[in-house]
Structure 1
Amino acid sequence: MAGRERTPRLLAHAALILGVAILVLPVYLAFIASTHGGADFLSGRVGLLPGPLLVENYGAVLFAGASTAGIPPVALMLLNSFVMAMAIALGKIAISLLSAFAVTYFRFPFRVAAFWIIFVTLMLPVEVRILPTFQVVASLSMLNSYWGLTVPLIASATATFLFRQVFMTVPDELTEAALMDGATPLRFFWSVLLPLSRTNIAALFVILFIYGWNQYLWPLLVTTDTGYYTIVMGIQRLARAASEADPVWHLVMATAILAMLPPVLVIALMQRLFVSGLTETQK
């Protein structure tokens, strides 16, 4: 009996190990390639062990960049991407919390219509409204700035909908008790709703941070100054330089590895809250 029970467990573990290997192997090969020279990468002499140029290659992309490709240091691009991702995530959460609070607890004309107008914007992603949005940003002199990178991407109908659904599950007795205790609407929002939404906020923060970090098309349009390049733009420009016979594929791989680290770190640090926000309701 014990052997029969162990067999499905071993098969499950084998399947998990195989899946992890399939996912991790390309990342490992990219890391190995980033520790060799460009000529070794093109000639296929990379192998499966780290090369001797680990410190040199990562130091070059972090602090020197690739002057032949017009790429600034990756450290600056990492900072720009971090600022953009944090501003988008925090801005979306803040605006969505307030808008969901308004349409859930306040009674005003066309309240339901206002919510559905917000919800309908889900069908209008940035790519659809990119030309008028760019024109507005340009007319407000927000090109080549953090404002231009973040403000047009802050509004989120998805987060508003999710927080509205969370607020609708709060018992009416809790709301009435807060009113009887003399709590103002903002005090009720700050002291009751925010603590109850903690895990949902954490889950959305992880998703929205990665969304902001991976933005490519919008930063490509609103930035021409290399001082505002994001890490995803840097990878694209390095890859284009490599395709033009400049052997910088090892620098492309190093930049890609560095671009993975902040999202992975965010997920690792907030894993427990992230899973709780997706699977539990702390009410």
Structure 2
Amino acid sequence: MVENRPYLTVLSHLVVILGIIITVMPIWITFVASTHPIEHIMDGTIPMWPGDKFFENYATVLGAGVADAGGIPVGTMLFNSLVMALSITIGKIAISLIAAYAIVYFDFPFRMACFWLIFITLMLPVEVRILPTFAVVANLGLLNSYVGLSLPLIASATATFLFRQFFLTVPEELAEAARIDGAGPWKFFKDILLPLSRTNIAALFVILFIYGWNQYLWPLLVTTDESFYTIVMGIQRMTQAAESLPLWHLVMATTMLAMLPPVIVVVVMQKLFVKGLVETEK
């Protein structure tokens, strides 16, 4: 029985409102700064209300770009980040699904040894193996390419483990019934396991998309051609102006644009994302 105590309701609402303010305030300041001229940002005061340079600032970063970021339009960098994030996300999910399916439903020598070898790679993040990975990519001639940006990051031990654990909860009778009905391994995987994995795929899609979108170190190493810069690299270059102060109003406009794709993905897939994290029965 839950007691109805008005002061607890008020307190809980105050805590939620405080959390919203703490979360939203930096985003609001970023947006406001992106609508003012640089003079208003550099005069020592922080504007709290939008200015009159919204269209001008956003047209500048989307059109001509910023010289400190190589003069590449933000639209190009957003496209590069989108290609990289989608390639990493789809690649990780596809490879992990197939690997987990093979480990759970196929009986082959050293099956569990293969699984543990995959699982052990969790202890080797990109930063640890980055030099040999870079050497392989360079020797294959994949520098300054979308393949070089994405391919070394598409293997995922975490996703493989999660799909394996889910496949283990699928009743064995389901596989036997499919086998009796004449369904082969591919049909069983495509028509039964994939639909059952929909919420898990959605949850992983959101997490992996944000992971790929926010990549910085790897694109910095494999990209020297400015036309392949990602949005995170562009923001970093804008803030590291060598001979002048950063154009903070344009940096903030670029930051706001960089937040849009992850936010859209989270909002669109919110219901499936939550189901994939909390649902115990499929």
Q: What TM-score range do you get, normalising by the shorter chain? A: over 0.9
Q: Partner amino acid for 1:249?
A: W
What CA distance in whole angstroms lies between the structure 1 residues aligned with 2:163 and 2:71?
40
Q: 1:263 to 1:68 in 2, by over 3 A?
A: closer
62-71 vs 147-156, which moves further: 62-71
Q: Partner amino acid for 1:250?
A: H
Contact 1:69–1:238 (CA under 8 A) maintained in structure 2: yes
Q: Please state whether the residue corresponding to 2:107 is helix, strand or coil.
A: coil
Contact 1:38–1:247 (CA under 8 A) maintained in structure 2: no
What CA distance in whole angstroms lies between the structure 1 residues aligned with 2:46 and 2:172?
64
Q: Which residue of 2 aligns with 1:99?
A: 99
Give the C-alpha shift of residue 45 in structure 1.
Answer: 4.3
CA offsets 1:247-272 (integer angstroms, 9 cap, x no match): 40111111111111110110000000
State how 1:1-283 maps to structure 2 within 5 Å: 5-241=5-241, 244-283=243-282
What CA distance in whole angstroms lies between the structure 2 residues aligned with 1:223 and 1:12?
48
Q: 1:231 to 1:69 in 2, by over 3 A?
A: closer
What CA distance in whole angstroms lies between the structure 1 residues aligned with 2:209 and 2:193?
22
Contact 1:71–1:238 (CA under 8 A) maintained in structure 2: no
What CA distance in whole angstroms lies between the structure 1 residues aligned with 2:280 and 2:94?
20
Q: Partner amino acid for 2:54?
A: L
CA offsets 1:191-242 (integer angstroms, 9 cap, x no match): 110011000000000000000000000000000011000000000000001x
Q: Which runs of 5+ in 2 are unaligned?
A: none
CA offsets 1:122-168 (integer angstroms, 9 cap, x no match): 11111000000000000111000000000000000000000000000
Normalised TM-score (structure 2): 0.97
Q: 1:259 to 1:205 in 2, by over 3 A?
A: same
Q: Which runs of 5+ in 1 are unaligned?
A: none
Give the C-alpha shift of residue 40 in structure 1.
Answer: 1.4
Contact 1:88–1:153 (CA under 8 A) maintained in structure 2: yes
What CA distance in whole angstroms lies between the structure 2 residues aligned with 1:18 and 1:79?
36
What CA distance in whole angstroms lies between the structure 1 residues aligned with 2:280 and 2:184?
25
What CA distance in whole angstroms lies between the structure 2 residues aligned with 1:107 and 1:247?
59
What CA distance in whole angstroms lies between the structure 2 residues aligned with 1:233 and 1:25?
24
Normalised TM-score (structure 1): 0.96
Q: Partner amino acid for 2:244?
A: A
Give the C-alpha shift of residue 67 in structure 1.
Answer: 2.1
Q: Partner amino acid for 2:138?
A: A
Aligned residue pairs, count? 280
CA offsets 1:96-137 (integer angstroms, 9 cap, x no match): 000000000000100000000000001111100000000000
Give the C-alpha shift of residue 90 in structure 1.
Answer: 0.4
What CA distance in whole angstroms lies between the structure 2 residues aligned with 1:87 and 1:247?
32
Q: Partner amino acid for 1:263?
A: P
Give the C-alpha shift of residue 189 in structure 1.
Answer: 0.3
What CA distance in whole angstroms lies between the structure 2 residues aligned with 1:182 and 1:207?
36
What CA distance in whole angstroms lies between the structure 1 residues aligned with 2:4 and 2:229?
57
What CA distance in whole angstroms lies between the structure 1 residues aligned with 2:7 and 2:234?
48
Contact 1:203–1:274 (CA under 8 A) maintained in structure 2: yes
Q: Partner amino acid for 1:38?
A: I
Give the C-alpha shift of residue 9 in structure 1.
Answer: 1.2
Contact 1:42–1:247 (CA under 8 A) maintained in structure 2: no
Contact 2:104–2:164 (CA under 8 A) maintained in structure 1: yes
What CA distance in whole angstroms lies between the structure 2 residues aligned with 1:247 and 1:103?
52
Give the C-alpha shift of residue 58 in structure 1.
Answer: 0.6
